[in-house]
Amino acid sequence: MFHGNMQTIAEGRERKAELLADPAVSVADAYEEEVQRVAKTFEGRLRHLAGENYESVAREYLRGERNDRVGRLTAYYTEGLWRIQQRSTISEMLFFPLILRYPDSFTVNLRFTDDYTTTESIPFESPEHTTVDAEETYSQQYFNESQYEQKQAAEYLRQTAQIIRDEFPSPDEAPVSERNYGGIVSAGGRHESEFSEMLARVTPDPNRFSEAVTEPTLVREGSEAKRTARRYLQSAKVEM
């Protein structure tokens, strides 16, 4: 299931690249299609954890009517899903997830910050989110440069989608020795008409867990979370 979800995310990134490179498709539409794919992975995870009524489970936890492991996890994923669905419409909010693979488990750290970019993000303009008038001086140059930036971003998205595939190979095709550890950190945000994207490999700490993981649960952030925040965030505050 985990491998399938990561492949869905990689495919969504490649599809977004294809749409961004098409001048006839808006940036908003490209992001909306990716969000739909990511949402499916979250919904599948939520159903696996709490069943079809996962939204009720999350509400019960948030109202203080339950405080069990499933309730906490369901509320965490539900909050993350809601924020992901909002991120391309909100300025100054960076989605900064960290996903790590260990020999017998994986962790998903859904981080959001009060910023829109990282130290290594690729920026690009979205004309539909700007106030530039098509009749203004230099407007055509602005639109041409925006299209060029979107094509550059599309190529970056295609390249980094392959990183996802490399870090989380198929359990049916790759030997155990090649898939014990893997990880990625990514970031996507928006400031008014400027969008940004980033994705990079992360090497998990092999000594993070001393005992085997037998069931889904919340765990404290590891050294990888602190390390990636120091490297990629300048002054933003992680909110989740």
The per-residue pLDDT for range 103-151, each reduced to its tens digit, is 989 999 999 998 899 999 999 999 888 877 666 667 888 889 999 999 9
Q: What is the pLDDT of residue 86?
A: 82
Supply angle C-alpha 83, 88, 94, rounded to 5: 65
Q: Which DSSP state fits 102?
A: E
Angstrom distance (rounded) from CA 42 to CA 21 = 27
The residue ranges of every structural domain in the chain are: 2-232
Q: What is the pLDDT of residue 232?
A: 95
**Sign, Cα dihedral of 98, 200, 35, 189:** positive
Higher pLDDT among residues 163 and 170, named by residue: 163
Angstrom distance (rounded) from CA 124 to CA 154 = 10
Angstrom distance (rounded) from CA 193 to CA 190 = 7
Which amino acid is present at 49? L
pTM: 0.91
Instruction: Find the mean pLDDT for residues 13-29.
Output: 95
Residues in the chain: 240
Q: Check whether 154 has a pLDDT greater than 80.
A: yes
Q: What is the pLDDT of residue 135?
A: 65
Instruction: Find the mean pLDDT for residues 38-61.
Output: 93
Q: Check whether 1 has a pLDDT greater than 90.
A: no
| pLDDT band at residue 96 using 50, 70 and 90 as cut-offs | very high
